[in-house]
Amino acid sequence: MSETRSHPSELRFRSALGAIPAYIPGKPPKRVDGRPSYKVSSNENPYPPLPGVLRAAMRAVESMNRYPDLTSTALLEALSARLDVPVNRLAVGAGSAAVLYNLLQATCETGDEVIYAWRSFEAYPIAVALTGATAIEVALTADGRHDLDAMAAAVSTKTKVILICTPNNPTGEVVRGDDLQAFLRAVPVGVLVVIDEAYREFVREPRAVDGIDLHREHPNVVVLRTFSKAYGLAGLRVGMAIGSELVMAAIRKCAVPFGLSDIAQQAAIASLAAEADLLQRVEGIVGERSRMVNALRELGWEVRDSQANFLWLELCEDTHAFAMAAEAAGLIVRSFPGEGARVTIGEPETNSLFLDVVRQWNVHKR
Protein backbone atom coordinates (compact mmCIF):
# COMPACT_ATOMS: atom_id res chain seq x y z
CA MET A 1 0.00 0.00 0.00
CA SER A 2 1.35 3.41 -0.89
CA GLU A 3 2.00 5.83 1.89
CA THR A 4 2.21 9.64 1.79
CA ARG A 5 5.92 10.27 2.23
CA SER A 6 6.37 14.00 2.06
CA HIS A 7 4.49 16.64 3.94
CA PRO A 8 4.10 20.05 2.21
CA SER A 9 5.79 21.78 5.16
CA GLU A 10 8.98 19.92 4.27
CA LEU A 11 9.12 21.61 0.89
CA ARG A 12 11.60 24.46 0.75
CA PHE A 13 10.90 27.37 -1.56
CA ARG A 14 13.23 30.26 -2.31
CA SER A 15 13.00 32.96 0.34
CA ALA A 16 12.27 35.57 -2.36
CA LEU A 17 9.00 33.82 -3.18
CA GLY A 18 7.24 35.07 -0.05
CA ALA A 19 7.56 38.69 -1.18
CA ILE A 20 6.16 38.15 -4.65
CA PRO A 21 2.80 39.77 -5.27
CA ALA A 22 0.31 37.91 -7.49
CA TYR A 23 -0.23 39.17 -11.05
CA ILE A 24 -3.89 40.12 -11.23
CA PRO A 25 -5.21 39.75 -14.78
CA GLY A 26 -8.17 41.72 -16.12
CA LYS A 27 -11.49 40.06 -15.26
CA PRO A 28 -12.96 37.99 -18.10
CA PRO A 29 -16.13 39.32 -19.72
CA LYS A 30 -19.41 37.76 -18.62
CA ARG A 31 -23.07 38.22 -19.43
CA VAL A 32 -24.89 40.94 -17.49
CA ASP A 33 -28.68 40.61 -17.50
CA GLY A 34 -28.45 38.38 -20.59
CA ARG A 35 -26.29 40.93 -22.48
CA PRO A 36 -22.62 40.34 -23.32
CA SER A 37 -20.09 42.48 -21.49
CA TYR A 38 -16.93 43.96 -22.97
CA LYS A 39 -13.48 43.62 -21.50
CA VAL A 40 -11.64 46.93 -21.57
CA SER A 41 -9.29 46.01 -18.75
CA SER A 42 -6.21 44.46 -20.41
CA ASN A 43 -5.22 46.93 -23.14
CA GLU A 44 -5.90 44.36 -25.83
CA ASN A 45 -6.58 45.11 -29.46
CA PRO A 46 -10.35 44.82 -29.95
CA TYR A 47 -10.14 43.56 -33.55
CA PRO A 48 -9.98 39.91 -34.60
CA PRO A 49 -6.99 38.62 -36.60
CA LEU A 50 -6.69 39.64 -40.26
CA PRO A 51 -7.46 36.74 -42.63
CA GLY A 52 -3.82 36.46 -43.81
CA VAL A 53 -2.53 36.27 -40.24
CA LEU A 54 -5.15 33.69 -39.34
CA ARG A 55 -4.24 31.58 -42.38
CA ALA A 56 -0.53 31.64 -41.47
CA ALA A 57 -1.34 30.54 -37.91
CA MET A 58 -3.67 27.78 -39.15
CA ARG A 59 -1.01 26.42 -41.49
CA ALA A 60 1.38 26.23 -38.55
CA VAL A 61 -1.22 24.39 -36.46
CA GLU A 62 -0.93 21.47 -38.88
CA SER A 63 2.62 20.75 -37.76
CA MET A 64 2.00 21.03 -34.03
CA ASN A 65 3.50 17.57 -33.53
CA ARG A 66 6.90 19.17 -34.26
CA TYR A 67 8.93 21.51 -32.08
CA PRO A 68 9.16 25.06 -33.43
CA ASP A 69 12.36 26.63 -34.76
CA LEU A 70 14.35 27.14 -31.56
CA THR A 71 16.16 30.17 -32.98
CA SER A 72 13.09 31.84 -34.57
CA THR A 73 15.33 32.54 -37.58
CA ALA A 74 12.64 33.57 -40.09
CA LEU A 75 10.95 35.88 -37.55
CA LEU A 76 14.25 37.47 -36.54
CA GLU A 77 15.14 38.06 -40.19
CA ALA A 78 11.73 39.65 -40.87
CA LEU A 79 12.14 41.89 -37.79
CA SER A 80 15.69 42.77 -38.74
CA ALA A 81 14.53 43.96 -42.18
CA ARG A 82 11.58 45.85 -40.71
CA LEU A 83 13.46 47.61 -37.91
CA ASP A 84 16.82 47.99 -39.65
CA VAL A 85 18.52 46.27 -36.74
CA PRO A 86 20.97 43.34 -37.21
CA VAL A 87 19.64 39.92 -36.19
CA ASN A 88 22.24 39.60 -33.42
CA ARG A 89 20.79 42.74 -31.77
CA LEU A 90 17.35 41.14 -31.49
CA ALA A 91 15.83 38.54 -29.17
CA VAL A 92 12.27 37.21 -29.22
CA GLY A 93 10.21 35.41 -26.60
CA ALA A 94 6.72 34.48 -25.46
CA GLY A 95 5.57 38.07 -24.96
CA SER A 96 7.72 41.02 -23.96
CA ALA A 97 6.99 40.01 -20.36
CA ALA A 98 8.91 36.75 -20.90
CA VAL A 99 11.79 38.63 -22.51
CA LEU A 100 11.87 41.00 -19.52
CA TYR A 101 11.92 38.07 -17.08
CA ASN A 102 14.82 36.51 -19.05
CA LEU A 103 16.71 39.80 -19.05
CA LEU A 104 16.31 40.29 -15.29
CA GLN A 105 17.28 36.68 -14.64
CA ALA A 106 20.38 37.21 -16.74
CA THR A 107 21.45 40.33 -14.86
CA CYS A 108 20.10 40.42 -11.30
CA GLU A 109 20.53 38.49 -8.08
CA THR A 110 20.18 39.01 -4.34
CA GLY A 111 21.85 42.23 -3.27
CA ASP A 112 21.25 43.99 -6.59
CA GLU A 113 18.76 46.81 -7.08
CA VAL A 114 16.32 47.53 -9.90
CA ILE A 115 14.79 50.98 -10.19
CA TYR A 116 11.44 51.68 -11.80
CA ALA A 117 8.69 54.27 -11.57
CA TRP A 118 5.54 53.45 -9.63
CA ARG A 119 2.75 53.10 -10.43
CA SER A 120 3.64 51.22 -13.58
CA PHE A 121 3.27 47.79 -15.20
CA GLU A 122 2.31 45.27 -12.52
CA ALA A 123 4.73 42.61 -13.75
CA TYR A 124 7.78 44.71 -12.72
CA PRO A 125 7.68 44.04 -8.96
CA ILE A 126 7.07 40.33 -9.62
CA ALA A 127 9.85 39.97 -12.18
CA VAL A 128 12.33 41.78 -9.95
CA ALA A 129 11.42 39.84 -6.79
CA LEU A 130 11.83 36.54 -8.67
CA THR A 131 15.51 37.30 -9.19
CA GLY A 132 16.06 38.02 -5.49
CA ALA A 133 16.98 41.64 -6.28
CA THR A 134 15.49 44.61 -4.43
CA ALA A 135 12.96 46.85 -6.17
CA ILE A 136 13.49 50.59 -5.77
CA GLU A 137 10.17 52.20 -6.66
CA VAL A 138 10.31 55.92 -7.48
CA ALA A 139 6.96 57.73 -7.34
CA LEU A 140 5.57 59.16 -10.56
CA THR A 141 5.15 62.94 -10.63
CA ALA A 142 1.71 64.26 -9.63
CA ASP A 143 0.80 64.35 -13.32
CA GLY A 144 1.64 60.69 -13.92
CA ARG A 145 5.09 61.06 -15.53
CA HIS A 146 8.43 59.43 -14.75
CA ASP A 147 10.45 61.56 -12.33
CA LEU A 148 13.76 61.04 -14.10
CA ASP A 149 15.71 63.28 -11.70
CA ALA A 150 14.52 61.24 -8.72
CA MET A 151 15.24 58.01 -10.61
CA ALA A 152 18.79 59.13 -11.41
CA ALA A 153 19.25 60.14 -7.76
CA ALA A 154 18.15 56.62 -6.69
CA VAL A 155 21.05 54.99 -8.57
CA SER A 156 23.59 53.33 -6.26
CA THR A 157 26.52 50.98 -6.70
CA LYS A 158 23.96 48.16 -6.34
CA THR A 159 21.82 49.31 -9.28
CA LYS A 160 21.81 46.77 -12.10
CA VAL A 161 18.78 47.74 -14.16
CA ILE A 162 16.44 50.71 -14.58
CA LEU A 163 13.03 50.11 -16.15
CA ILE A 164 11.40 52.96 -18.05
CA CYS A 165 7.82 52.37 -19.21
CA THR A 166 6.86 54.73 -22.04
CA PRO A 167 3.98 55.23 -22.60
CA ASN A 168 3.53 54.39 -18.95
CA ASN A 169 0.95 51.79 -18.01
CA PRO A 170 -1.48 52.95 -16.55
CA THR A 171 -1.04 56.74 -16.85
CA GLY A 172 -0.42 56.85 -20.63
CA GLU A 173 2.34 59.48 -20.30
CA VAL A 174 5.50 59.30 -22.42
CA VAL A 175 9.11 60.11 -21.59
CA ARG A 176 10.58 62.73 -23.91
CA GLY A 177 13.57 61.80 -26.06
CA ASP A 178 15.72 64.75 -24.92
CA ASP A 179 14.93 64.03 -21.25
CA LEU A 180 15.97 60.40 -21.66
CA GLN A 181 19.18 61.44 -23.43
CA ALA A 182 20.06 63.61 -20.43
CA PHE A 183 19.11 60.78 -18.07
CA LEU A 184 21.37 58.35 -19.91
CA ARG A 185 24.27 60.78 -19.56
CA ALA A 186 23.67 60.86 -15.79
CA VAL A 187 23.49 57.06 -15.37
CA PRO A 188 26.65 54.88 -15.26
CA VAL A 189 27.07 52.90 -18.50
CA GLY A 190 27.25 49.68 -16.49
CA VAL A 191 23.57 50.04 -15.58
CA LEU A 192 21.12 48.61 -18.11
CA VAL A 193 18.30 50.98 -19.03
CA VAL A 194 15.31 49.03 -20.30
CA ILE A 195 12.80 51.07 -22.30
CA ASP A 196 9.50 49.22 -22.30
CA GLU A 197 7.66 50.43 -25.38
CA ALA A 198 4.75 47.98 -25.42
CA TYR A 199 2.46 50.78 -26.66
CA ARG A 200 4.89 52.58 -29.01
CA GLU A 201 2.70 52.30 -32.11
CA PHE A 202 -0.02 54.39 -30.45
CA VAL A 203 2.31 57.34 -29.70
CA ARG A 204 1.59 60.55 -31.62
CA GLU A 205 3.65 62.96 -29.47
CA PRO A 206 6.62 63.91 -31.67
CA ARG A 207 8.92 64.60 -28.70
CA ALA A 208 8.41 61.11 -27.27
CA VAL A 209 11.48 58.90 -27.03
CA ASP A 210 12.02 56.30 -29.73
CA GLY A 211 13.96 53.53 -28.02
CA ILE A 212 15.12 51.91 -31.24
CA ASP A 213 16.85 55.14 -32.34
CA LEU A 214 18.33 55.57 -28.88
CA HIS A 215 19.74 52.05 -28.59
CA ARG A 216 21.98 52.68 -31.61
CA GLU A 217 24.00 55.23 -29.60
CA HIS A 218 23.79 53.66 -26.14
CA PRO A 219 25.01 50.07 -25.63
CA ASN A 220 23.35 49.95 -22.19
CA VAL A 221 19.88 50.58 -23.63
CA VAL A 222 17.54 47.64 -24.21
CA VAL A 223 14.16 48.22 -25.85
CA LEU A 224 11.14 45.97 -25.34
CA ARG A 225 8.37 45.83 -27.92
CA THR A 226 5.44 43.49 -28.42
CA PHE A 227 3.04 42.04 -30.96
CA SER A 228 0.35 41.94 -28.24
CA LYS A 229 -1.11 45.42 -28.57
CA ALA A 230 -0.96 47.20 -31.95
CA TYR A 231 -0.53 43.91 -33.83
CA GLY A 232 -3.31 42.11 -31.94
CA LEU A 233 -1.47 38.90 -31.04
CA ALA A 234 -1.84 39.03 -27.24
CA GLY A 235 -3.13 35.46 -27.13
CA LEU A 236 -0.19 34.05 -29.07
CA ARG A 237 2.53 35.71 -26.97
CA VAL A 238 5.24 37.30 -29.10
CA GLY A 239 7.53 39.99 -27.75
CA MET A 240 11.04 41.18 -28.46
CA ALA A 241 14.10 42.92 -27.12
CA ILE A 242 16.43 45.14 -29.11
CA GLY A 243 19.87 45.87 -27.69
CA SER A 244 23.55 45.00 -27.69
CA GLU A 245 24.69 41.61 -28.96
CA LEU A 246 26.01 40.72 -25.51
CA VAL A 247 22.69 41.41 -23.78
CA MET A 248 20.69 39.59 -26.44
CA ALA A 249 22.90 36.50 -26.03
CA ALA A 250 22.31 36.62 -22.26
CA ILE A 251 18.53 36.82 -22.76
CA ARG A 252 18.64 33.80 -25.09
CA LYS A 253 20.55 31.78 -22.49
CA CYS A 254 17.76 32.32 -19.95
CA ALA A 255 14.87 31.57 -22.32
CA VAL A 256 12.78 28.42 -21.92
CA PRO A 257 13.69 26.16 -24.87
CA PHE A 258 11.08 26.31 -27.67
CA GLY A 259 9.10 28.92 -25.70
CA LEU A 260 7.85 30.61 -28.87
CA SER A 261 5.46 28.30 -30.74
CA ASP A 262 5.55 27.97 -34.52
CA ILE A 263 1.97 29.27 -34.60
CA ALA A 264 3.13 32.43 -32.84
CA GLN A 265 6.23 32.79 -35.03
CA GLN A 266 4.24 32.41 -38.27
CA ALA A 267 1.48 34.78 -37.12
CA ALA A 268 4.10 37.40 -36.21
CA ILE A 269 5.78 37.09 -39.61
CA ALA A 270 2.39 37.40 -41.34
CA SER A 271 1.60 40.43 -39.16
CA LEU A 272 4.74 42.17 -40.36
CA ALA A 273 3.65 41.45 -43.95
CA ALA A 274 0.19 42.88 -43.17
CA GLU A 275 1.56 45.82 -41.19
CA ALA A 276 -0.07 48.53 -43.31
CA ASP A 277 -3.55 47.15 -42.55
CA LEU A 278 -2.75 46.67 -38.87
CA LEU A 279 -1.40 50.19 -38.51
CA GLN A 280 -4.56 51.52 -40.12
CA ARG A 281 -6.49 49.89 -37.29
CA VAL A 282 -4.10 51.55 -34.84
CA GLU A 283 -4.91 54.89 -36.48
CA GLY A 284 -8.59 54.19 -35.86
CA ILE A 285 -7.90 53.44 -32.19
CA VAL A 286 -5.89 56.68 -31.89
CA GLY A 287 -8.86 58.56 -33.42
CA GLU A 288 -11.21 56.93 -30.90
CA ARG A 289 -8.80 57.90 -28.11
CA SER A 290 -9.17 61.58 -29.09
CA ARG A 291 -12.95 61.25 -29.33
CA MET A 292 -13.07 59.73 -25.83
CA VAL A 293 -10.77 62.35 -24.28
CA ASN A 294 -12.75 65.21 -25.84
CA ALA A 295 -16.10 63.73 -24.79
CA LEU A 296 -14.88 63.17 -21.23
CA ARG A 297 -13.66 66.75 -20.98
CA GLU A 298 -16.99 68.02 -22.31
CA LEU A 299 -18.62 65.98 -19.56
CA GLY A 300 -16.50 67.88 -17.05
CA TRP A 301 -13.94 65.18 -16.37
CA GLU A 302 -10.29 66.04 -15.92
CA VAL A 303 -8.53 63.53 -18.10
CA ARG A 304 -5.00 63.71 -19.43
CA ASP A 305 -4.02 62.99 -23.00
CA SER A 306 -2.86 59.41 -23.35
CA GLN A 307 -0.28 58.15 -25.81
CA ALA A 308 -1.35 54.52 -25.44
CA ASN A 309 -4.48 52.46 -26.22
CA PHE A 310 -6.01 53.23 -22.82
CA LEU A 311 -7.09 56.15 -20.65
CA TRP A 312 -6.35 56.70 -16.99
CA LEU A 313 -9.11 58.10 -14.81
CA GLU A 314 -7.97 59.34 -11.43
CA LEU A 315 -11.05 58.48 -9.43
CA CYS A 316 -9.36 58.07 -6.05
CA GLU A 317 -11.87 56.81 -3.46
CA ASP A 318 -14.61 56.55 -6.14
CA THR A 319 -12.67 54.00 -8.17
CA HIS A 320 -14.35 50.86 -6.91
CA ALA A 321 -17.87 52.30 -7.17
CA PHE A 322 -17.16 53.51 -10.71
CA ALA A 323 -15.80 50.10 -11.76
CA MET A 324 -18.94 48.47 -10.35
CA ALA A 325 -21.18 50.93 -12.22
CA ALA A 326 -19.28 50.16 -15.44
CA GLU A 327 -19.60 46.43 -14.81
CA ALA A 328 -23.35 46.74 -14.28
CA ALA A 329 -23.53 48.42 -17.70
CA GLY A 330 -21.51 45.60 -19.30
CA LEU A 331 -17.98 47.04 -19.26
CA ILE A 332 -15.08 45.47 -17.38
CA VAL A 333 -12.55 48.23 -16.61
CA ARG A 334 -9.32 47.82 -14.69
CA SER A 335 -9.59 49.32 -11.25
CA PHE A 336 -6.77 50.18 -8.89
CA PRO A 337 -8.76 50.76 -5.70
CA GLY A 338 -8.15 54.15 -4.13
CA GLU A 339 -6.22 55.34 -7.17
CA GLY A 340 -8.08 55.14 -10.44
CA ALA A 341 -9.41 53.11 -13.33
CA ARG A 342 -7.72 52.23 -16.60
CA VAL A 343 -9.96 51.87 -19.61
CA THR A 344 -8.79 50.32 -22.87
CA ILE A 345 -9.88 52.03 -26.08
CA GLY A 346 -12.14 49.50 -27.80
CA GLU A 347 -14.33 49.46 -30.86
CA PRO A 348 -16.42 52.65 -31.34
CA GLU A 349 -19.60 51.05 -29.91
CA THR A 350 -17.74 49.91 -26.80
CA ASN A 351 -16.29 53.39 -26.34
CA SER A 352 -19.74 54.95 -26.74
CA LEU A 353 -21.07 52.55 -24.12
CA PHE A 354 -18.29 53.71 -21.81
CA LEU A 355 -19.25 57.36 -22.37
CA ASP A 356 -22.85 56.44 -21.49
CA VAL A 357 -21.58 54.99 -18.20
CA VAL A 358 -19.82 58.29 -17.50
CA ARG A 359 -22.98 60.29 -18.31
CA GLN A 360 -24.99 58.12 -15.93
CA TRP A 361 -22.30 58.45 -13.29
CA ASN A 362 -22.39 62.25 -13.63
CA VAL A 363 -26.16 62.25 -13.09
CA HIS A 364 -26.04 60.05 -10.00
CA LYS A 365 -22.77 61.10 -8.47
CA ARG A 366 -22.45 64.82 -9.10
- Binding residues for ligand PMP, per CB under 6 A? 43, 95-97, 121, 165, 169, 196, 198, 226, 228, 234, 239
Residue 271 C-beta: closest distance to ligand PMP, Å:
13
Backbone torsions φ then ψ of 140, nearest 5 degrees: -65, 160
Whichever of 25 and 51 has its CB closer to ligand PMP, that residue is 25
Whichever of 196 and 325 has its CB closer to ligand PMP, that residue is 196
Among all residues, whose Cβ is closest to ligand PMP?
A: 95
Whichever of 226 and 265 has its CB closer to ligand PMP, that residue is 226
Residue 155 C-beta: closest distance to ligand PMP, Å:
22
> Distance between CA 161 and CA 116 in Å, rounded?
9
Please report the DSSP string for 295-349 in residue order: HHHHTT------SSSEEEE--GGGHHHHHHHHHHTTEE-EEETTTEEEEE---HH
Whichever of 233 and 303 has its CB closer to ligand PMP, that residue is 233
Whichever of 196 and 201 has its CB closer to ligand PMP, that residue is 196
- Contact between 73 and 259 under an 8 Å Cβ cutoff? The reply is no
- Interhelix angle 73-83/262-273, nearest 10 degrees: 30
Nearest to 347 by CA among 319, 309, 293: 309
Residue 127 C-beta: closest distance to ligand PMP, Å:
10
> Distance between CA 69 and CA 11 in Å, rounded?
36
Residue 191 C-beta: closest distance to ligand PMP, Å:
20
Residue 39 C-beta: closest distance to ligand PMP, Å:
13
Burial class (CB in 10 A: 0-12, 13-18, 19+), 274: middle
